[in-house]
Structure 1
Amino acid sequence: MDLRQLECFIYVAELGSFTQAAMVLDVGQPALSRQVRRLEVELRQTLFYRNGRGVSLTEAGKRLLAHGRTIQMQFEHARHDVEDSRGSPLGRVTIGFPYAVGRALTAPFVKAFRARYPKASLCITEGLTIHLYEWLLSGRIDIALLHDPVPSPSLDIQPIREDDLLLLGYRKPRQAAVGSPIPLRKVAELPLIMPCRPHSLRMMIETRLANMGLKPTIVLDVDSVASIVKLVSEGEGYAIATQHAIAASDDQDHLQSRRIIAPRMSSVLAMATSAERPLTTLVQRTCELFHEVLPVSAGKDN
């Protein structure tokens, strides 16, 4: 197996077509088919199901695709890391943000990154914390910002900041944007709109209330921070979130926040990288840049 064969296989798998993959790779379709066939012979496995609409992966093909993406990314990292020794970091870094944090942080971080590393490329994706975990472990992303991450031997985790958890509710006319603190016991009685399990915030709230002998009153399960905040702004219920969720909303005039007390509730935002793959110079420098940019950006949201 060589990198060229692997590259051909990955393009066919992702595009679902030998014809389209040949066009993208700028090779003849017979030559592309031979590369994939050699790979199948070497592995003694059929990698694709052929049909009239294109191709789909067999179980063996799915396993190889997962490994292939990681190998391809590691090769690119190794090449760029060696090239980086000559000066400004090169290559590509992929970062995963939680939804609310992404909207508040993306613009200032991109500006800082492009100014600091003009020869490098940056890819940003957003997702739920549980998905960011999976993408980081699989090598799909290089760095993830995670809310309240669970310790893992596969990850290096650095806490960056801690934010109070707030109760968000509909803001009536002439009502203050910030209300008085509210005990967690009272929060449990309100109609809450929350992310689905196993979202880290949902699990934290349920666990804390269970320790008090209580259960939250959840009226809607919604796996979108933006949608949750929108529903709250229209009076459909209450939500528990950090200040980032308010800062990212277009409906701030219709939201009131109240700090949760007795006990105080907070969420830790941490930066995570793989402990099982060496970090390129660019990834290391990007991690350092987070520590410079995040406090400044977050401060505007407080």
Structure 2
Amino acid sequence: MDEVQLRNFVMIGRCASITEAADRLGIAQPSLSQQLLRLEDEFGTKLFRRTSRGVVATDAGRMLQEHAATILQAMNRARDEVQATERVPQGNVAVGLPATASMILGVPLLIAARTSMPLVSIHVREAMTGTIRRWLEEGRIELGILYAAENIRHLSTKVIARETLLLVGPAGAFGETDDFGIATQPIEQPRLKTYDFILPSVSHGLRELIERQLHMEDLSLSTTIEIDSLAHTKTLVASRLGYTLLPHAAVCNELASGELSAAHVEGIDLSRSVAFVRNPAQPLTRASIEVEDLARRLLRDMIAEGRWLATPVEDE
């Protein structure tokens, strides 16, 4: 069975007549009848029932018509997209970014795209990871960044890096710092029990990661404030109402200005993966591929230049 046979089969069903279908296809009627017989032999069942007025699809024929329509649409789309690789990328691409990723990638991506792909319109949508995942599942965005997404089986993930969460406190909380504003001496794991924490709610992806890692170490934190806002969390910590756990990218400006302080935590793995995520059920466009490639290059450059404290993960 090939594409030509499928198209001819669909035409027979559309015309409900082998003779009329042969006329429309510009082939001899006996030749088309032979194609249909070979197709029926291949599937081991009758696909059309002959009547005095023409042909009527059997149950098996109607089932094949549905599959044929899907297959032919996919083949047309694949042909168009492969051929489009020779053309300048164009179109709209919606990208979902969590707050931290948006801080480091959102503006650089938009600026770089204006030069490298002027016919592509990028819509950056900032949201919590749970919302971005839902947008991907609903087909409302073409590309997203998610953290610790390895176990999401129904979405396609490409891990680009791993970053580590830091203990973040008010100004001067952890002593002498390095060039990145991080304390030169790490905090030992048991000291976490002595702090009051300001964390996102339990449904938040960051909180899930923290709780999972704490559970592995048989450790619990005193969470006195729950709030799903990065900006408000940093304000509350700066006001000395508690501590939190965040990646360096989320607090680098505040560390540079001295509003906040940060330290590594010794004895517990607080790293998380950072991945580009797609819905494999969505059509893959040239524009979205180019946007993903550009975003990947920008993030790798940030790591190499020390503007994003993360460890790159090589493509598999």
Closer, same or farther: CA 293–175 of 1 in aligned 2, 3 Å = same
Contact 2:213–2:269 (Cα < 8 Å) also in 1: no
Cα RMSD of the aligned pairs, angstroms, is 2.7
Contact 2:174–2:261 (Cα < 8 Å) also in 1: no
* Deviation by residue 1:4-57 (Cα, 9 ceiling, x = unmatched): xxxxxxxxxxxxxxxxxxxxxxxxxxxxxxxxxxxxxxxxxxxxxxxxxxxxxx
Q: 1:154 and 2:154 equivalent?
A: yes
Q: 1:192 aligns with which of 197, 205, 210?
A: 197
* Deviation by residue 1:101-123 (Cα, 9 ceiling, x = unmatched): 20221121112212111111110
Task: Supply the AA of the counterpart residue of 1:130.
Answer: G
Closer, same or farther: CA 127–172 of 1 in aligned 2, 3 Å = same
Task: Supply the AA of the counterpart residue of 2:123.
Answer: C
* Deviation by residue 1:118-145 (Cα, 9 ceiling, x = unmatched): 1111100101111110011101111111
* Deviation by residue 1:177-210 (Cα, 9 ceiling, x = unmatched): 4222113332233111001112122112222222
1:252 Cα offset (Å): 3.9
Which 5+ residue runs of structure 2 have no aligned equivalent? 1-76, 310-316
Q: 1:300 and 2:307 equivalent?
A: yes
* Deviation by residue 1:83-112 (Cα, 9 ceiling, x = unmatched): 945621111000011112202211211122
Show the 5 A alignment for 1:167-206: 167-172=167-172, 175-176=175-176, 177-179=181-183, 180-206=185-211
State the aligned residue count: 227
Task: Supply the AA of the counterpart residue of 1:291.
Answer: R
Bigger shift: residues 166-175 or 85-94? 166-175
Cα distance in 2, alignment partners of residues 173 and 186 from structure 1: 13
1:247 Cα offset (Å): 2.7
Show the 5 A alignment for 1:3-82: 81=81
Task: Supply the AA of the counterpart residue of 2:135.
Answer: W
TM-score normalised over the length of structure 2: 0.65
Cα distance in 1, alignment partners of residues 225 and 115 from structure 2: 43
Task: Supply the AA of the counterpart residue of 1:121.
Answer: S
Cα distance in 2, alignment partners of residues 168 and 261 from structure 1: 14
Q: Percent identity?
A: 24
Cα distance in 2, alignment partners of residues 140 and 250 from structure 1: 36
Q: Post-superposition, which runs of at least 4 consecutive aligned residues in structure 1 deviate over 6 A? A: none
Q: 1:234 and 2:234 equivalent?
A: no
Q: Which residue of 2 aligns with 1:291?
A: 296
Q: Which residue of 2 aligns with 1:142?
A: 142
Cα distance in 1, alignment partners of residues 193 and 284 from structure 2: 43
Q: 1:223 aligns with which of 215, 219, 228?
A: 228
Contact 2:142–2:282 (Cα < 8 Å) also in 1: no
* Deviation by residue 1:207-249 (Cα, 9 ceiling, x = unmatched): 2222333211101001011211121112111010101111365
Bigger radius of gyration, 1 or 2?
Answer: 2
Q: Secondary structure at the match of 2:132?
A: helix
Task: Supply the AA of the counterpart residue of 1:296.
Answer: D
Cα distance in 1, alignment partners of residues 84 and 115 from structure 2: 17
Closer, same or farther: CA 202–185 of 1 in aligned 2, 3 Å = farther
Q: Secondary structure at the match of 2:258?
A: helix
Q: 1:269 and 2:305 equivalent?
A: no
Cα distance in 2, alignment partners of residues 162 and 97 from structure 1: 16
